[in-house]
Structure 1
Amino acid sequence: MPKNAIKLMLATGLILSSAPAAVDAAPTIPNQNADHAFDNKVIKKISGDRLYERVNLLSQSPREAGTEGEYRAVQYIQDQFESYGYNTELQPFTFQDWDEGVSSIVINNTVFNGDVQAFTGSVNATVKSKLEFVGLASSEEVTDSVKGKIALIERGSISFYEKVQNVINKGAAGVIMFNREGEEGNDFGYTYEGQNIPVVAINREEGLSLVNQLNSEEVNAEIAVQGAGTIDKISYNVIATMQPHKNKDNGQIVTIGAHHDSVAGGPGANDDASGVSGVLELAKIMAKTPIDTELRFMTFGAEEKGLLGSYHYASTLSEDEVNRIAAHFQMDMIGSRDSGDLIMFTPDGEKNLVTDLGAAAGARVAEVVEYGQLGRSDHVPFFERGIPSALFIHAPLEPWYHSPEDTVDKISKDKLKETTEIIGAAVYQIARPDTPALINARVAPGPVHYEFDDRPL
């Protein structure tokens, strides 16, 4: 029998005793009233005000991985876990980040007054040449006339790689790219290996001004990128562990996670102070709740850099731990008033123990939660190690995702509370002392029908 199937049946009480005496026993009868009673032990303690206040506190400033802002958040999270009585570990890890250095532009011998930012991966170089506007830099728009020149490009339609490569293929010496319509700022863009020309970004208004200038006169430009390159930074995972009663330990582990870092320049109220607050709330209310399953509450660093914290944590798990982890619940962006409904995403688009329990808990607490397929969050490293995992998130996302407008005033206490209640009820279904259930325990969750939802993020 596959390992995950065994995990599912153990955790939900669906494995029946194989002893001969169990053959004549009465069949398991799911008792939804009993499950409601057990749910209430957990969800009645969840406070929407407390959830909201944590989001407010965490989102006062950005928490980009490797910065002082992240470390302040880590200290707060560790203090909270310890105040609930948990054994708490800070797990540091080193990652490489990009230092953009100093970039500049000179136009017709006049220093450009706007903000200039090097693309991630840009080479350090200084180039002087004529400026040529090549539109969106599609292969049809870029001609041999750009050879030796600095290409002025509008962002949009095709990838950064294609834009830069198309002008390189025609011999361009450098790139100035301006933002697309509807986007603010110049914090965008990256180059790839082999794209060895300096590439910088400016905002849309400044880019359109250069286009207008080119329409009336020849423009000579100079772009310079200096000091750009990779640097080592340190980020942290925070892990709080609750051991089961020593006489009731069934050997299982359940992990509940969120990521505490934000994007650069973004306060990250929904992404993901909301998830962190949910993890802390469940840790608080479970701290004095009898359990027979080890619970690990955790927040990850450097999710926005490529799931680095969760990959690091997953890599430290022994095979014994992997075999004993029955489920991983990931909470990411669970509080925006302007996002869609709650959904459970799995990396492979298949149901598993976590989605089964989440759907059943949703039916008891609010309404059935559907599932879909998506990676892009910290459930992926657990899934890749064979652990049943799912991401709980509201989708489609709000308009200010990954922006400075991701602020606490756009957080819904009701969404925060309901999502935390659903996950809390699902976790407790595994962790409460009368599960795994034998055939006569009558505590297995009732089957719930839930469907695949091909919903975009």
Structure 2
Amino acid sequence: MYKKPLTYALATGLVLSPMSLPVDAAKPAPNEQADHAFDNKVIKKISADNMYNTIALLSKQPRAAGTEGEYKAVQYIKSEFERYGYETELQPFTIQEWDGGSAAVSFNGDAFTGDVHTFNGSINGSATGSLVYVGLASADEVGDEVAGKIALIERGSFSFYEKIQNVYDKGAIGVIMFNGEGQSGNAFGYAYEGQDIPTVAITREAGLSLVEQLTNGSVQASVNVENAGPIDKTSYNVIAKKEPHPNKDNGQIITVGAHHDSVPNGPGANDDASGVAATLELARIMAKTPTDTELRFVTFGAEEKGLVGSYHYADTLTDEEVENMVAHFQMDMVGSRDAGELIMFTPDGNKNLVTDLGASAGARISGAVDYGELGRSDHVPFFLKGIPAALFIHAPLEPWYHSPEDTLDKISKEKLQNVAEIVGSAVYQVARPDTPALENARVAPNPADYDFDDRPL
């Protein structure tokens, strides 16, 4: 038995049963005329320039969870929601951040003057011994010669875990790793429980210089890591609520979300200032629009650390809220000019209410949107609570993903506009006052054919 009235109504055939759009597109059916009327009511208000300007502001600096950059971003997002008239709150939660402490290396008694990065998870400690180069540190490359020595490793081809474990199993007492071809900097690396040797990273240039020195003779090395370990920091979710018209409240809840944090070394224009910008823009146009459904617009923190913010938010929902939450629309990376086409991902690869509404809205606006299977974003915690949820994203991803090049100049206003129109239209189809549970056939959306697309992210 379906307990959510909206899901039940759609399951009876209004949307969930795949059907073709009307063949005679030149003469819209009555339903379709009504659909376009309410689409236009929403779409005509959406401004790509507004979204672009929001991205420009948010991407001025990285917004990694637990940093000042994130806090500035959440204060801005909160102020915008409040400016639109929403009941708004910051929801703090604790995350663990790795503090690399201090790391130092020396070669042949001379202190290394370049930058040294401590691997996340590295133990504190010191090691001194001969340096031995083991290439990529595959199982075939690492032999007994590393016993009692410090392993010099090139990054690439194998996981950090495998590389460290291979030299650790052969008796290495420390690890110095440098970047692979085409990679810059040295802010990388994870060590794992049980890999009890100090582990650090240096740049590719410094690493290749050491490889050359080793071809001409031996090198004595020392590695020292102090005060490294996890520390608690605070990240935030920003939650904005719009109550339905008091005389038309159907008890249902819809959430629309994006994540506001970025990776530490990137401005995150597309990932995910674009999703935040679209969320804010939809909040703006829905603020004065009558609805029979409670709307919640949420931006999540610490998505890049494993969906921590969205899991926290989902875990704070009461059983009644979960029961009444009929749909969650997640927008992540919706503005890149260099990414592929729009797709709707669900964690289990099955259609649901959100994908049905999204496909129907897309068919009216620019063409039905296909769906695929993918977790890895903030729709997952809602799905695990039994709430219909989908991720709206362009795939395959752009080359600038998770890099310092994820900047404003790569943003497409056309893609921003298209996604905001589709999601806004789909949300309004549920929330408009004359569609309690979409039972009124006059305004029920035409179902759209849309297919599974095994497209990689």
TM-score normalised by structure 1 residue count: 0.94
Amino acid at match of 1:164: I
Q: Go from structure 1 to structure 2 and tell me whether the alpha carbon gap of 1:7 and 1:204 turns closer, same or farther (over 3 Å shift).
A: farther
* Corresponding position of 1:223: 223
> CA–CA distance in 1 between the matches of 2:293 and 2:447?
22
Deviates more, 1:385-394 or 1:433-442: 433-442
Question: CA contact under 8 A between 1:175 and 1:197: conserved in structure 2?
Answer: yes
* Corresponding position of 1:236: 236
| 2:119 is the counterpart of 1:145 | no
Aligned to 2:74, the other structure's residue is in SS state: helix
How far does the alpha carbon of each residue in 1:6-63 deviate from its partner, in whole angstroms, 9 at most, with x for none?
A: 54244689579xxxxxxxxxxxx87112111101111110001111000000000111
> CA–CA distance in 2 between the matches of 1:68 and 1:11?
44
How far does the alpha carbon of each residue in 1:112-159 deviate from its partner, in whole angstroms, 9 at most, with x for none?
A: 222111110000111111111111111111000000111111111111
Question: CA contact under 8 A between 1:11 and 1:326: conserved in structure 2?
Answer: no
> CA–CA distance in 2 between the matches of 1:400 and 1:183?
13
* Corresponding position of 1:178: 178
* Corresponding position of 1:25: none
* Corresponding position of 1:116: 116
Shift of 1:111: 1.6
Q: Go from structure 1 to structure 2 and tell me whether the alpha carbon gap of 1:250 and 1:11 turns closer, same or farther (over 3 Å shift).
A: farther
Q: Go from structure 1 to structure 2 and tell me whether the alpha carbon gap of 1:437 and 1:170 turns closer, same or farther (over 3 Å shift).
A: closer
> CA–CA distance in 1 between the matches of 2:2 and 2:126?
59
Question: CA contact under 8 A between 1:133 and 1:152: conserved in structure 2?
Answer: yes
* Corresponding position of 2:416: 416
Amino acid at match of 2:276: V
> CA–CA distance in 1 between the matches of 2:8 and 2:167?
57
Q: Go from structure 1 to structure 2 and tell me whether the alpha carbon gap of 1:93 and 1:224 turns closer, same or farther (over 3 Å shift).
A: same
* Corresponding position of 1:297: 297
Shift of 1:274: 0.4
Question: Superposition pairs for residues 64-79 of structure 1, below 5 Å?
Answer: 64-79=64-79
* Corresponding position of 1:357: 357
Question: CA contact under 8 A between 1:118 and 1:201: conserved in structure 2?
Answer: yes
Q: Go from structure 1 to structure 2 and tell me whether the alpha carbon gap of 1:438 and 1:392 turns closer, same or farther (over 3 Å shift).
A: closer
* Corresponding position of 2:7: 8
Query: Which residues of structure 2 form unaligned runs of 5+?
Result: 16-28
> CA–CA distance in 1 between the matches of 2:3 and 2:278?
29
* Corresponding position of 2:337: 337
Aligned to 1:442, the other structure's residue is in SS state: helix
Question: CA contact under 8 A between 1:120 and 1:191: conserved in structure 2?
Answer: yes
Amino acid at match of 2:221: A
| 2:385 is the counterpart of 1:371 | no
Shift of 1:2: 4.5
Query: Which residues of structure 1 form unaligned runs of 5+?
Result: 17-28
Question: CA contact under 8 A between 2:78 and 2:238: conserved in structure 1?
Answer: yes
Amino acid at match of 2:384: E
> CA–CA distance in 2 between the matches of 1:440 and 1:252?
16
Q: Percent identity?
A: 68
RMSD after superposition = 1.6
> CA–CA distance in 1 between the matches of 2:394 and 2:439?
36
Q: Go from structure 1 to structure 2 and tell me whether the alpha carbon gap of 1:440 and 1:371 turns closer, same or farther (over 3 Å shift).
A: closer
Question: CA contact under 8 A between 1:275 and 1:333: conserved in structure 2?
Answer: yes
Aligned to 1:296, the other structure's residue is in SS state: strand
| 2:268 is the counterpart of 1:262 | no
Question: Superposition pairs for residues 376-395 of structure 1, below 5 Å?
Answer: 376-395=376-395
Shift of 1:332: 0.6
Shift of 1:213: 1.2
Deviates more, 1:299-308 or 1:110-119: 110-119
Question: CA contact under 8 A between 1:81 and 1:283: conserved in structure 2?
Answer: yes
Q: Go from structure 1 to structure 2 and tell me whether the alpha carbon gap of 1:254 and 1:278 turns closer, same or farther (over 3 Å shift).
A: same
Deviates more, 1:403-412 or 1:202-211: 202-211
* Corresponding position of 2:197: 197
Aligned to 1:238, the other structure's residue is in SS state: strand
Aligned to 1:314, the other structure's residue is in SS state: helix
Deviates more, 1:185-194 or 1:48-57: 185-194
Question: Superposition pairs for residues 44-59 of structure 1, below 5 Å?
Answer: 44-59=44-59
Question: CA contact under 8 A between 1:12 and 1:437: conserved in structure 2?
Answer: no
> CA–CA distance in 2 between the matches of 1:198 and 1:7?
56
Aligned to 2:213, the other structure's residue is in SS state: helix
Q: Go from structure 1 to structure 2 and tell me whether the alpha carbon gap of 1:438 and 1:269 turns closer, same or farther (over 3 Å shift).
A: closer
Shift of 1:423: 0.5
> CA–CA distance in 2 between the matches of 1:31 and 1:367?
17
Question: CA contact under 8 A between 2:117 and 2:187: conserved in structure 1?
Answer: yes
> CA–CA distance in 2 between the matches of 1:375 and 1:111?
46
Question: CA contact under 8 A between 1:30 and 1:444: conserved in structure 2?
Answer: no
Shift of 1:433: 1.0
Shift of 1:208: 1.4
Deviates more, 1:176-185 or 1:334-343: 176-185
* Corresponding position of 1:24: none
Amino acid at match of 2:7: L
* Corresponding position of 1:324: 324
| 2:38 is the counterpart of 1:38 | yes
Q: Go from structure 1 to structure 2 and tell me whether the alpha carbon gap of 1:11 and 1:259 turns closer, same or farther (over 3 Å shift).
A: farther
Amino acid at match of 2:178: F
Aligned to 2:448, the other structure's residue is in SS state: coil
Question: CA contact under 8 A between 2:14 and 2:445: conserved in structure 1?
Answer: no
* Corresponding position of 1:278: 278
Question: CA contact under 8 A between 2:334 and 2:393: conserved in structure 1?
Answer: yes
Q: Go from structure 1 to structure 2 and tell me whether the alpha carbon gap of 1:87 and 1:353 turns closer, same or farther (over 3 Å shift).
A: same
> CA–CA distance in 1 between the matches of 2:186 and 2:397?
22
Question: CA contact under 8 A between 1:396 and 1:456: conserved in structure 2?
Answer: yes
How far does the alpha carbon of each residue in 1:388-436 deviate from its partner, in whole angstroms, 9 at most, with x for none?
A: 1111111111111111111111111111111111100110111111113
> CA–CA distance in 2 between the matches of 1:215 and 1:8?
68
Aligned to 2:98, the other structure's residue is in SS state: strand
Question: CA contact under 8 A between 2:438 and 2:444: conserved in structure 1?
Answer: no
Shift of 1:265: 2.1
> CA–CA distance in 1 between the matches of 2:381 and 2:391?
12
Amino acid at match of 2:373: Q
* Corresponding position of 1:249: 249
